[in-house]
Structures are given as C-alpha cells and as structure tokens.
Structure 1
Amino acid sequence: MLSDRRRLVLRALIEEYIARALPVGSRTLVERYNLGISSATVRSELSLLEDMGYLTQPHTSAGRIPTDYGYRAFVDDLLKDSNIKVDESTLSQLKDCATDLDDLLDKTSQALARLTDCMTMLVPPRFLSVDIRLINLVPLSQSRLLVVIVTDDGQVFDRQMDIPASCTPESIQRTQELINKLLVGRNLSFEREILPSELKDVQDDLFQLVVSEIMICLKEKNAIKAHPLGMSHLLGKPEFSDPACLMPILEELEGDTLLLRVFDDAVHSDKPVVRIGHENDSEALSSVSVIANRFGQDSHRGLIVIVGPTRMNYSAVITAVRAAQDILKDL
C-alpha cells in the first residue's frame, strides 16, 4: 500500500513521462511539480518506488520510468476517482463529429482516434448479437453435419461439425425443429453468460453439441469485426519509431485476437477495462495498453477499444472513452 506522498510522487513521474517520453529525475519533479517536499526526499521516494517495482531505471545515470506495475497503480487511482468527469469540451467535440446518425459510429471512431492520439476500434452492436431467422442442419455423412444459420439482416453462416455415428436422421430433424422453435425470432448474444436458459435446460447431447457449434460459428465469423483507425498515431510515437516494432501488434489486429481477448471482460463491465503491457495475454502486446469499454444496453451493446503505448495519456483516453460511451448510449 502506497503512502499519499509516495502516490503523489509516482503520479507526478508518470505524468511527466507521458508528456515527454524521457526518463525522469528528482530535479525535474521538484522544478515542475508542486510536491511540497525537498529534492532529497523525492530521491528517497523514487528509490523506494523502484525497490517496490513501480519504477525502473533504464540506465544507471538516467532518471526513472514507470513499470507496468506502476502504470497499474496510477490507472487504478484514475478509475476510482469519482471526481474525474467527462470533459465537456471533449463531449462537445464528439457530438460535433457524430451529428449524422447514419455514420455515427464511424465519426465517433474518427473523433476518438484524434482525441486520444491512439488507435481506435469500435465494434457495432450488430456484431455482438444477431437475430436468428432460420437454422438448418444438413447431414453430410453418418458422422458429419453442416450447420447453416440465417440471420434477419440476411447474413448466412455455416459450419461443419462432427457428430456421434449413432445419430439418426430422425434425431437430427428433431434437433433442428427444437433449435428453430427456441431461437427463431430471438436475439442471440455472443456473451457466454447470457445463452438463453431454455437452451441450457435441454437434456439432449446432440442438441447441446449443435448449440455450442452455433455459438462458436457466430462468434468467429460475425462477432469480432472492426476497422482500426489512427494507426498513424502509433507510428508517430517514439516507442514505435522503428516500424518493425509495430508488426507483431498489426498481426494481432489482423487476426482479431486482440478483440477476442478483451471481448468477454469488457462487455460485462460498467467501467473501462484497462490492460497494461504484460497484462495482455500475448507477448506481442507487451509494449501497448488496451482500454475497452462497452456502450449501449442489453442486446444493443457495442464495444469501444483504444490501443496505444503503455505511455499513453490514460486520463485523457479514459475521459474520451466515457464521452463516447455517453454519445452512443441510446444507439
């Protein structure tokens, strides 16, 4: 547990490092921040913060920079601070960029990229849930089945699956009729916890197997789709001055694995979900932070995702994300 003074010093160092991307020394903090303590005391606090894992010193003669652990303490304080409200100027800019309902999501995404100086992805609600029109089960062989899913907006998905050789055409037909009875006309979300209870309660192995495949199919082929904006903002950061450093991150985005990793946590949280550096599941994302927040309600929930260096301006990004969430709440 950090003391108030240690927390103040840590916050000042992180804000300075975010602003200048250079190691920070005690003299800089004393001169630029009204800490109310001497340079010697600041040096002592910095040394202790380093020993505790909040800071690191890249070179013996250089100042210090935050670790992922240090950023985590800083961000947790931001998320707990009830005095941090949505900035009215930020909210106004987002509204100005999102006046046309037809391209509200696109303009909001563009505004977020500009305001956060990071890469932005916005997943529309229609990619987090679908309305089912029809499901067909087509036997391909004694142990192979084709599942065909048609949605109300005209999308058609299919997936092949293995089934027990003991399944008869009659059992497949019964399963198809029951699935259509329970799902047609309903909104089906890709969130694991809100699978309709009627489906969970059916005591039939083939039925449960097919339902599981339907969820996997929809989640893989429709749920996680987004077009990133603001890639140039990442390229302009000192951390990514060598484009080769950005290639692993781009590969993660191309496969949509980044969104898959934050999807479940973010759509179930009222607050922004923040993953910093090595908190991300992939080593390729160890140099970036990911901030994700849902917007909308119930089946109309979408997802806002911001990707930037671990040195991103967390306060500004979280404020902009909350503003976007407010803009899109009635979508």
Structure 2
Amino acid sequence: MLTKRRLEIFKCIVDEFIQTAEPVGSKTIMEKYNLPYSSATIRNDMMYLEDIGYLEKTHTSSGRVPSTKGYRFYVEHLMQTHIDERVEYAVANIFDRKSNIDEAIKESCEILSQMTNLASGVLGPDASNQLLEHIKLFPLDSKKAVCVFITDCGHTENRTFDFHTEVSLEDIQSCCEILNDRLRGTRIIDLVEKMQSLKPILAQSVKRHEVLFNAFLKAFIKFASDNVYFAGTNNMLYQPEFSDIEKLRSLMKMLNDSSLWRQIDSPSNELMIKTSSGSSLVWMDDVAVVTSRFRLNDAEEGKLMVVGPSRMDYDRIVGLLEYISDSIERLYRNGAKDD
C-alpha cells in the first residue's frame, strides 16, 4: 500500500535523482529532506517501493534509482508543473519580435533547449494531405526567384530558387500557368508523382524547362516531407546516461527519424501517458520524450518536444512546454497574428 509516508519518500528519491544522477540512499533522504522518519523506516519503505517496481537497485551502489514504471507514477500522481518569470519574459520577447510563425516556433525551440539543457524539437503542421490551391513565383533577378505554395487550408510554404543560369520572365510565367492549371487540387503528397507527367508539357512551352522542372521537383519533395526541426542535440553529450557511445549513437539515430516523431504520441502507443493538461510523455529505454501540441486552425497542428534522459525535471519541463504551446496557439491560431 502506498501510504502518505511512502509517497513522500518516493517523491524525495525521484527529485534527488533528477538533480544528481546518483543512486539515492536512505541516509541522504533523511538528512537532506529533513524527513521525520528513521533511516531504518526509510530503508524498509525503499525496499517496498523496489518490490512494487517503482525503484531499481544499481550494480555499483547500495542506493536506488527510479524505474520507468516509477517515473510514470511520478508524472501521473506527484508532478507539480511550474514556470518562472524568466521563462514568461523570454517567450513573450520572441512573439513580440517575430510575426512569422515558422521563425517564432523555431526560436521557441532554441529557447527550450537552452532552458532545459536537453534536446528540443518542433514538428510543424503536416500539410501532406492538404490540396494545392495556388503557386506564385516572384523573380528576384534573372537567376533567382521566390516561390510561394498555398494550400486549400491556407497553409503557405516559401522556397527560394537559385537557378544557376538565367531564366526569363516569360519562362517563369508560362511555367506557373501550366503548373497552376494542371496541379491545382492535387494532394501535396502526390505532387512529385504528378509533376513527372508534366515534363513533356513544360518542354513544349518553356525554354528553360529543365531548370524550372528540377527547381519545382525539389521544392515539392521538401513540401511533402516532414517538417521536423531539432535544437540542442549537442546537450546530450553532457548527460551521464549517454556517456556510452552506443547509447548516444542510438539516440542520434532516433532524432533523425522524422517518421518516429509523427507517431510518438499516437493514442495507440502503449508506452505513452497523458497529463491532465494534455501533454504526452513516452519512455524508451533511458530516453524520455515530452510533447505538447498546438493547433493553428482546424486542419493544422504541430507539436513541441523535449528529448532527454528519463532523469529529467518533469515539473519544470512540462510546465515550459505547455506555456510555450499555449502562447503559440493563442497568438497564431486562425492567423490571429499577421505576417
């Protein structure tokens, strides 16, 4: 039975291990946290917590460390999220300066990694199943242009084309007319395949058709791919849990797997739990992933993530994620803040 005393002892053990990364003994808990229990009582309760799977014994010490099951219990029942004024000021400063949502979200990701000393990521809205509504191409000079893709949901993507050879305004206009005529209403994920069939049509009407075809093909591939951005991955080098080179290599491979981040907090993932405020947490071996979603409109959703060792400061990190996600949604939902 998890009595009030055992819960208090367990919380102290988790908090201490998060701070030190060292196995925790009964004497440390009694002295550092001023608990009104004897060392023997604390030791007996630690044995009980180990028996029910919330604590684990290490090979190198007589102390205990939280297990994945223990972390799950801590997050579900003992976590108390909080943020400080420093966070509020830093986040407000980003959104005051940045009107472009992509820039603001990326900078939020950087702030997250700096404040947590962990890796943070942002998974942008997935536009792959939206329909192409319009293409606009704005020449900057004879060798460079900015292309804007607009979907039926109002999502926009900007790409800069460097042609490395001169392309006439007439070619640009002709190419845009053909693509708008033939590709409007196509799912973003199908653009690359459909673009291949337009190659002979472009060849008939556009002099520099190869240059423009290749530029659009690359842009469509990028548009259809997952929009994942990570900051602070080097922070993992300083976490004792990843001092083993194989563990570090496995983590870096995970960070580069964009498909994993789309599915990480899927309701079908049995390793995932949700907090009362909507954040999701997943544990994979020694790695913990905390995610918080934000919605920009009825069709577009993104999520912020923090990735680190299971021994992370959940109270602070969950609070940080939720505050930033709420700020993004409040300021940018349905185009509330114009570019």
Q: What TM bracket, shorter-length normalisation? A: 0.5 to 0.7
Contact 1:276 1:310 in 2 (8 A): yes
Contact 1:293 1:321 in 2 (8 A): yes
Contact 1:129 1:299 in 2 (8 A): no
**Secondary structure class of the residue paired with 1:22:** coil
Q: CA–CA distance in 1 between the matches of 2:30 and 2:221?
A: 52
Alignment CA distance shift 1:185-1:3 (3 Å): farther
Structure 2 equivalent of residue 101 of structure 1: 99
Contact 1:235 1:243 in 2 (8 A): no
Structure 1 equivalent of residue 123 of structure 2: 123
Contact 2:125 2:227 in 1 (8 A): no
Structure 1 equivalent of residue 281 of structure 2: 274
Deviation at 1:325, TM superposition (A): 1.1
Structure 2 equivalent of residue 89 of structure 1: 86
Is 1:31 the counterpart of 2:31 in the alignment?
A: yes
- The amino acid of 1:255's aligned partner reads D
- The amino acid of 2:264's aligned partner reads V
Contact 2:25 2:64 in 1 (8 A): yes
Matched residue count: 250
Which portions of structure 1, spanning 4 or more consecutive aligned residues, are displaced by more than 6 angstroms?
185-188, 218-221
Contact 1:117 1:233 in 2 (8 A): yes
Contact 1:113 1:119 in 2 (8 A): yes
Contact 2:129 2:187 in 1 (8 A): no
Contact 1:121 1:227 in 2 (8 A): yes
Structure 2 length as normaliser, TM-score? Answer: 0.65
- Mapping for residues 202-241 of structure 1, pairs under 5 Å: 222=224, 224-241=226-243
Q: CA–CA distance in 2 between the matches of 1:220 and 1:93?
A: 31
Is 1:313 the counterpart of 2:320 in the alignment?
A: no
Deviation at 1:55, TM superposition (A): 0.5
Deviation at 1:132, TM superposition (A): 3.4
Contact 1:290 1:308 in 2 (8 A): yes
Deviations 1:145-185 (A, max 9, x none): xxxxx863479xxxxxxxxxxxxxxxxxxxxxxxx9xx949
- The amino acid of 1:247's aligned partner reads R
**Secondary structure class of the residue paired with 1:125:** coil
Q: CA–CA distance in 2 between the matches of 1:30 and 1:251?
A: 41
Question: Which structure has the greater CA radius of gyration?
Answer: 2
The alignment-based identity, stated in percent, is: 27
Q: CA–CA distance in 2 between the matches of 1:221 and 1:107?
A: 21
Contact 1:234 1:240 in 2 (8 A): yes
Q: CA–CA distance in 2 between the matches of 1:113 and 1:39?
A: 38
Deviation at 1:41, TM superposition (A): 1.1
- The amino acid of 1:230's aligned partner reads G
Q: Unpaired segments of 5 or more residues in structure 1? A: 135-149, 156-179, 189-217, 278-285
Deviation at 1:289, TM superposition (A): 0.4
Q: CA–CA distance in 2 between the matches of 1:315 and 1:154?
A: 36
Q: CA–CA distance in 2 between the matches of 1:313 and 1:129?
A: 37
Deviation at 1:3, TM superposition (A): 2.1
**Secondary structure class of the residue paired with 1:37:** coil
Deviation at 1:303, TM superposition (A): 0.8
Contact 1:294 1:304 in 2 (8 A): yes
- The amino acid of 1:240's aligned partner reads F
Structure 2 equivalent of residue 288 of structure 1: 287
- The amino acid of 2:231's aligned partner reads L
Deviation at 1:263, TM superposition (A): 5.0
Deviation at 1:128, TM superposition (A): 7.3
Deviations 1:102-153 (A, max 9, x none): 321121010011112211111223657634338xxxxxxxxxxxxxxx8634
